[in-house]
A and B are shown apart, each in its own frame.
Chain A
Amino acid sequence: MASQIPLRAALAGALSLAFCLPALAQQPAPPASPPAWAQGRSADQANSPLAPHAPRLTATPAAQIPVSSIRLPEGFKAELWASGMPGARMMARGEDGTIYVGTRTIGRVYAVKDENGTRTPRVLAQRLDQPNGVAVRNGSLYVIAINKVLRFDNIAQNPNVEPVDMTAAFNLPTEAHHGWKFAAFGPDGKLYMNIGVPCNVCTFDENKHALIVRFNPDGSGREVVGQGVRNSVGFDWRPGTNVLYASNNARDWAGNDTPEDTLHRLARMGEHHGFPYCSGNAWQDPGHTGRKCSEFPAPVALLGPHTAPLGMRFYTGTMFPEAYRGRAFIARHGSWNRDTKSGFDVVTVTLNEDGTQGKVEPFLTGLLNTADNSFSGRPTDVLVMPDGALLVSDEQTGAIYRISYQR
C-alpha cells in the first residue's frame, strides 16, 4: 500500500485547492477524510476494529512456513517450492523457466529458477511503487508498478539487463488505492491489466477506473475491455474459447455477508459489469442507484463475501485428474472486512458448457484456523507449470507452494 507517486498527486491536489481557495488555509480544518479502504462505513461501524491485515516484510524461515497445514483433495500433495521472498504475489514464467514474482509494499520483483532441484530467489528489481504486475512475452519481462512500466528484454539470456522505461507510453493513472496491477498477455498478443477504483466505494470517472484495459506491447492503442469491474487482481482466457474471465473484489463495509466477490465473463468488448451500482449476487448498492442490476451481465460465479479472490488461471495441464482440467483455480487472499474470517484458500470453478455459469468447490484449505479466527498464510496467485503442477504464492509467508498429483 505504500506509494510515493500517488502522494505527489494528492499533494498536487491539495496545492491546487490552496490556490483556488486561499482563505481555506486560515479556516478551521475540515473533518479528516477517511482512508480509501474505510470509505463507505456507516456511523454504527465507525468504531469497528476491522482493518486490513499487516503485511510481513521479512523472510519467514522455511521451518515456519505452514506447508504441513495445507489440506488438498485425495491424491494431491503440497510441498514448499521456494521461500525467502517477503511479500510474494503475482507470478509469471519466463521462457527459460524462471518464475518472476511481483510484490506490493516491499517494492521488489523476485526471480526464482529451479537449478538442479534447488531454487534460490534473487531480487531482480527494487524500490518500486507496488510492482504487483509481471508478464512475459517474446523474451521480455514486463513489470507494472502503480504508474510505472518497465520492460526487461531478453532477460533469460541477460538476467541483469537494464530495463527500458515504458512509463510514458502507458501513461497509467497515479492513484495508490487499488492502483496495483495484475497483468497478462492475451491470446491476441496485447497486454491486459486492471485499473481499480481509487476508493472503497465512490462516484468516479467510469472511463478511467474500475476497468480492465489492454494495450499494444509498446503502450499504444489503449482499449477498454470491461467497465464496472471494481478491482480485478487476476484473470485468464478460457482454453479453446479465448474468452476472458476475471476475478473481482466487491466493496467493503456493507455487512459481513454482502456483497459477494465474483468471477466475471468478459464476453463483449467494453461491456459494463456493474460497479458501483450492482455487485455480487444482484446486490443493488443503496448509495448508487442510478443503474439497475438488470442492466449488467450476471457474474459467472459467487466467490464469497470479502474473501478477496486474486490470482486466477485455467488449468491447462494434464497431471491433475480429468475432472480438474479446464477448471479455473482461484487464490482467495482472505477477508479482513468480516468478523468471521473467510477465504485464505484456493477454490476451483467448473464452468458449464457455454461458460456462463460456474460451480465453486474448495481445493486448497488449512491456512485458516476457524477455531481462533486466525490465518497462517494468504494464497495470492496460482500458476500452471509445464509439467502440470500448480504453483501457489503466499504473500504472508513469502513462499511458493507446488501442488502435484500422483495416482
Chain B
Amino acid sequence: MALASSFSAARAQDAERGQALAAERNCMACHGERGVSAMENIPSLAGQQAQFITLQLVLFREGLRDVPPMEPAVEGLTDTQLEDLAAYFSSLPHAVPPDRARRNVGAYNNGAALSNRLRCGVCHLPNLTGQNQVPRIAGQREDFLAQTLRAYRDDKRHGTDTQMNAAVHGLSDAQINALAHYIAQR
C-alpha cells in the first residue's frame, strides 16, 4: 500500500511538472485547453495512454516520425520531460471534441463491421480505449482518425512497429471514412 500510494504521488508530481512544461511549450494552442482538440487534424491527448504518448514524443525527438510542427515542440526535451508530458495529458479526463458531428447510422454500422473484421479491439481493447503503447482511439477527432488511417495505408507513417500499416492495408477511402466515423462516435 505504501508503495502504491508513493507511486501515485510520484505520478501526480510528474503530471504537475508536465502541466508546466505543456504551458511552456504551448501544447494547448493546438491540442486544446484541456487536451481536447477543437482543431482539424490535430489529435486530442486528454486521457490518452501515457506509454503511447511517451513513445510518440521520442519518435518526434529522434527524427523518426515526421510531423514538422512537433519538431520545435519537443526539441531538447529530456526523457523525463517527455514522460512528464505524457503523465499530464494521460491524467486529463477524456472528452469528445466540441465540434463532433452527429452520428450517421449507416456509416457507423459499416465502420463497426469493419472494426470487427479488422479486429481493432484485440490491441485497442474492445472499448477502443487502448493499452500501454496502443493508443486510445475511442472519441478521437474523426478528421484526425481518417487522416492517420490514410497515412498508415499509404505507408506515410509507422509507429514503434509496422502493425498498423498491415492492419489497414488495401482499405478504400470510403472504408477509412466509415471506420473513422465509427471510432470517433465511440
Contact = CB atoms under 8 A, between A and B. Distances in A.
Chain A partners chain B: yes
Interface of A: 1-4, 6-8, 10-11, 14, 28-38, 46-49, 51-52, 54-55, 57-59, 86, 105-108, 126-127, 176-177
Contacts of B101: none
Contacts of A36: 162, 166
B29 interface: no
B65 to A, nearest CB: 8
Contact of B165 (A7, A48, A54): A7
A47 B39 CA distance: 35
Given A1-B161, A106-B58, 19 more contacts: A2-B158, A2-B160, A6-B162, A7-B162, A11-B155, A33-B169, A35-B163, A36-B162, A49-B122, A55-B133, A57-B54, A57-B58, A58-B54, A58-B83, A86-B79, A105-B160, A127-B62, A127-B64, A177-B162
A61 to B, nearest CB: 8
Interface in B120-173: 122-123, 132-133, 154-155, 158-163, 165-172
Contact of A32 (B63, B118, B123, B132): B118
B117 to A, nearest CB: 7
B170 A29 contact: yes
Contacts of B165: 7, 10, 35
B133 A3 contact: no
A58 B87 CA distance: 14
Given A3-B158, A8-B155, A52-B161, A57 B55 contact: yes
Contacts of A177: 162
B162 A51 contact: no
A283 to B, nearest CB: 26
A18 to B, nearest CB: 11
Contacts of A37: 163
B41 interface: no
16 contacts: A2-B59, A2-B160, A2-B161, A6-B162, A7-B155, A14-B155, A35-B166, A51-B122, A54-B55, A54-B132, A57-B54, A58-B58, A58-B80, A59-B80, A108-B62, A127-B62
Contacts of A54: 51, 55, 132-133, 160
B175 interface: yes
A176 B155 CA distance: 13
Contact of A30 (B59, B158, B163, B170): B170
Given A35-B162, A54-B51, A2 B122 contact: no
A49 to B, nearest CB: 6
Contacts of A32: 118, 166-171
Contacts of A10: 155, 165
Interface residues of B, number: 36
B122 A47 contact: yes
B143 to A, nearest CB: 21
B166 A33 contact: yes
B82 interface: yes
A107 B62 contact: yes
B120 to A, nearest CB: 11
Interface in B79-127: 79-80, 82-83, 117-119, 122-123
Interface core residue of B55, B117, B175 (most chain A CB under 10 Å): B55
Sorted nearest first, the 7 A-B pairs with minimum C-beta distance are A1-B161, A54-B133, A58-B79, A35-B166, A57-B58, A7-B155, A35-B163
B162 A2 contact: yes
Nearest to A12: B155
Contacts of A57: 54-55, 58-59, 160
A29 B172 contact: yes
A9 B64 CA distance: 17
B67 to A, nearest CB: 14
A50 to B, nearest CB: 9
B11 to A, nearest CB: 14
A1 B166 CA distance: 13
Contacts of A47: 119, 122
A206 B27 CA distance: 50
Contacts of B170: 29-33
Contacts of B155: 7-8, 10-11, 14
B135 to A, nearest CB: 12
Nearest to B118: A32
A14 B152 CA distance: 13
Contact of B172 (A28, A52, A176): A28
A103 to B, nearest CB: 10
B58 A127 contact: no
B161 A34 contact: no
Contacts of A105: 160-161
A2 B64 contact: yes
